[in-house]
Amino acid sequence: MSVNRVVLISGKTGTGKTGLAAALQDRYGFHVVQTRDLLGGKLELHDANERKPLIDRAMALNGETNSRWVLDGVLPQLERLGGSPGIVVDHVSSIEQIQQFRESAGSAIVHVHLYASRETLRTRYAGKEGALPGAPTYEEIDHLSDPVAELLKNDADIRIFTDRTDADDTLVRVAAHLQLLTSPQLRCVDVLVGGQYGSEGKGNIVAFLAPEYDVLVRVGGPNAGHTVATPKGKRVHHQLPSGCGASSAKILLGPGITLHVPKLLKEIEEFEIAPGRLFIDPCATIIEEVDIVEEQRGVVGAIASTGSGSGAAKARRIKNRGSKADKVCLARDVPELAEFLGATLFHLEQAYRDGKSVLLEGTQGSALSLYHGDYPYVTSRDTNVAGCLAEAGISPSRVRRILMVVRTTPIRVADPDGKEGNTSGHLKHETTFDDIAQRAGLDATEVNDAEKTSTTGRNRRVGWFEWSQFRRACDLNAPTDIVLTFADYLSAENQQARRFEQLKENTIKFIEELERVAQAPVSLINTRFPKKKVDFTDLRSIIDRRTWSGRTTDR
């Protein structure tokens, strides 16, 4: 007999046996065998009057086969299991039936017995089959005698009193006994965040890494656009992970994300993402027109916010808790998203259990954090690792590597329009793209044309590298790896580098200094960011110095 797990469920009618079997099948992939099917009959929920013939037949088979008929019915199915973790038998009704399994499979057998008080069993039956006209009483259909039930309870490897547990509670307890739950020691999530004021080039890095991962997770909102170079040219992601076009990985949008439905649906169509691959958490916040209007009237002119409505939607979600007059719309309330809905925690746990690799893509940059940035010149969420993990529903214990992306010359969006003198925030060593281009030997016109924000198309301010801000981002994120982008802004000759030693000497010294300050290696180096349309098909712009792969997990 195969070593696949065989779970035998016993218990009186109404204890929750069939619900447990179905849950083990749905959640963990067990194959369910129902003994009523082995008897050659199909007993539907409303067929209470048909129980007696089946019970009589089962009793007769016990005598004819020495209680082996259930085992004989299960064995052929067990041999065809393939990758299934095992079989659940719903249900066994005697010690002798269980003994036949134990003699055949030994330790592969797990006996689960469910029991409840007589009052509870009667109530449950009365609410279902017993409510139908002409239905027998509970005592008439209760084929498992109290003495036999007691023997089964004493024999069980797992026994659960279901008076005060629902199906989910029972499943969790049984799954724990079966060691189906994932250990907190399992680390298979890599997180990528921006280390400055956003626009560090995270999208290209994610697209480069994505083929190594089984699951891609995105948090944030449509206020951040991630531009990616692909064989088909320039692509911009606003709400989907930047690597979704470069891989076939499962895509998860966590409960902390804020979504603009029309833009999301357009992006789903553009990247040809089908249901069954993309799962949007039902609790994700939906941006409504009122949110966009509010931001256009306020933070856009005050701090040069993108005005996507993401922050206003999050604020409204907090403010309007319990309000019937001004209800907050979540993803579960949008019919157009129904086919994509799925609890991200469920899919993450499934990934952990199956040893899959997960890449979480952060949003914007560390210095724009609502809590750790230079308020009020900040965004509407915490953009550091801890905040991204919270939005996705991922425990810090799951994290294997933290990649922090920084560019050689940090940028901020241009100051707000108008004569009020408002600013988009502090930039310590501010300079111009003309100056940077001249020093690096780049075409100033190309650089200026390329440096537009992905979401709003606004110009950018730029400055020289801020070492103290970089170290602060390291303190907040504790990166295991640094990713450096825009190496060509130090020297145009870096654009031709394909290996680390081909970089200019001053660039190598800059990288060595980054590693000293971060106390972490610079593992990926982006030598140039696309500036002209033709550049977006050139995919050899990253020098990979990693000693690890996304495919490798600590198991």
Q: What is the pLDDT of residues 432-444, one digit of tens each?
A: 999 999 999 999 9
Per-residue pLDDT at 554 exceeds 50: no
Average pLDDT over residues 398-411: 97
pLDDT tens digits, one per residue of 271-282: 999 999 999 999
CATH topology for the 189-544 domain: Adenylosuccinate Synthetase; Chain A, domain 1 (3.40.440)
State whether residue 511 is helix, strand or coil: helix
ω into 91 cis (within 30 of 0): yes
Q: Is 223 annotated in some ligand binding site?
A: yes
Q: Which residue has the higher pLDDT, 268 or 108?
A: 268
State whether residue 407 is helix, strand or coil: strand
Q: Is 453 annotated in some ligand binding site?
A: no
Q: Is 271 annotated in some ligand binding site?
A: no
Q: Is 34 annotated in some ligand binding site?
A: no
Average pLDDT over residues 352-361: 95
CA 272/CA 102 separation, integer angstroms: 50
- Residue 541 CB coordination number (10 Å): 22
DSSP H helical ranges for 89-232: 95-105, 118-126, 138-141, 146-155, 167-177, 202-209
Contact 492, 442 (CB under 8 A): yes
State whether residue 79 is helix, strand or coil: helix
DSSP for residue 549: -
When pLDDT is cut at 50, 70 and 90, the band that residue 43 belongs to is very low
Per-residue pLDDT at 418 exceeds 80: no
Q: Which residue has the higher pLDDT, 244 or 55?
A: 244
Q: What angle do CA 505, 366, 341 make, to 5 degrees?
A: 120
Average pLDDT over residues 241-245: 90
Average pLDDT over residues 59-86: 83
Q: Is 306 annotated in some ligand binding site?
A: yes
Q: Is 225 annotated in some ligand binding site?
A: yes
Q: Which residue has the higher pLDDT, 54 or 238?
A: 238
Per-residue pLDDT at 14 exceeds 80: yes
Q: What angle do CA 490, 242, 232 make, to 5 degrees?
A: 85
pLDDT at 411: 93
Report domain extents, the chain. 5-178, 189-544
- Residue 60 CB coordination number (10 Å): 11
Q: Is 224 annotated in some ligand binding site?
A: yes
pLDDT at 531: 67
Q: Which of 155-164, 237-246, 515-524 has the lowest mean pLDDT?
A: 237-246
Average pLDDT over residues 385-406: 97
pLDDT tens digits, one per residue of 520-535: 999 999 998 876 666 6
Q: Is 458 annotated in some ligand binding site?
A: yes
Q: Residue 160 pairs with which residues in a beta bridge?
A: 114
DSSP H helical ranges for 273-425: 289-297, 299-303, 310-319, 344-353, 385-392
Per-residue pLDDT at 362 exceeds 70: yes
Q: Is 535 annotated in some ligand binding site?
A: no
Task: Look up residue 283 and give its two tokens.
Answer: 């609790």
Q: Is 398 annotated in some ligand binding site?
A: no
pLDDT at 180: 92
Per-residue pLDDT at 360 exceeds 80: yes
When pLDDT is cut at 50, 70 and 90, the band that residue 310 belongs to is confident
Q: Tell me what percent of the chain is helix, strand and coil, each rounded to the nearest 5.
A: 40, 20, 40
Q: Is 487 annotated in some ligand binding site?
A: yes
Q: Is 465 annotated in some ligand binding site?
A: no
Contact 191, 397 (CB under 8 A): no
Max Cα distance, the chain (Å): 95
Average pLDDT over residues 305-316: 79
pLDDT at 97: 93
The sign one gets for the Cα dihedral 463, 465, 467, 473 is: positive
Per-residue pLDDT at 304 exceeds 80: no
pLDDT at 161: 96
- Residue 269 CB coordination number (10 Å): 9
Specify the DSSP element, H or E, that contains 10.
strand 5-11
End-to-end CA distance of the chain: 29
Which listed residue (31, 111, 113, 226) is catalytic?
226
DSSP H helical ranges for 433-532: 433-440, 444-450, 467-477, 505-518
pLDDT tens digits, one per residue of 424-480: 788 899 999 999 999 999 999 999 988 876 666 778 899 999 999 999 999 999 999
Average pLDDT over residues 349-378: 94
pLDDT tens digits, one per residue of 280-301: 999 999 998 888 887 777 665 5
pLDDT tens digits, one per residue of 136-160: 888 888 889 999 999 999 999 999 9
Average pLDDT over residues 305-315: 78
Per-residue pLDDT at 48 exceeds 60: no
pLDDT at 135: 80
HSE value, Cβ hemisphere, 13 Å, CA-based, for 289: 0
Q: Which residue has the higher pLDDT, 93 or 321?
A: 93
CA 443/CA 445 separation, integer angstroms: 6
Residue type, position 383, single letter = T
When pLDDT is cut at 50, 70 and 90, the band that residue 555 belongs to is very low
Considering the domain 5-178, what is its CATH architecture?
Answer: 3-Layer(aba) Sandwich (3.40)
CA 48/CA 320 separation, integer angstroms: 48
CA 499/CA 494 separation, integer angstroms: 10
- Crossing angle of helices 51-65 and 69-79, in 10° steps, is 90
Q: Is 460 annotated in some ligand binding site?
A: yes
Task: Look up residue 200 and give its two tokens.
Answer: 């560090």
HSE value, Cβ hemisphere, 13 Å, CA-based, for 53: 9
Which of 45, 21, 23 has the alpha carbon at shortest distance from 34?
21
DSSP for residue 64: H
CA 74/CA 32 separation, integer angstroms: 10
Active site residue 226: yes
State whether residue 492 is helix, strand or coil: helix
Q: Is 227 annotated in some ligand binding site?
A: yes
Q: What is the mean pLDDT of the chain?
A: 88
pTM score = 0.88
Write the DSSP string, 291-302.
HHHHHHHTHHHH
pLDDT at 46: 47
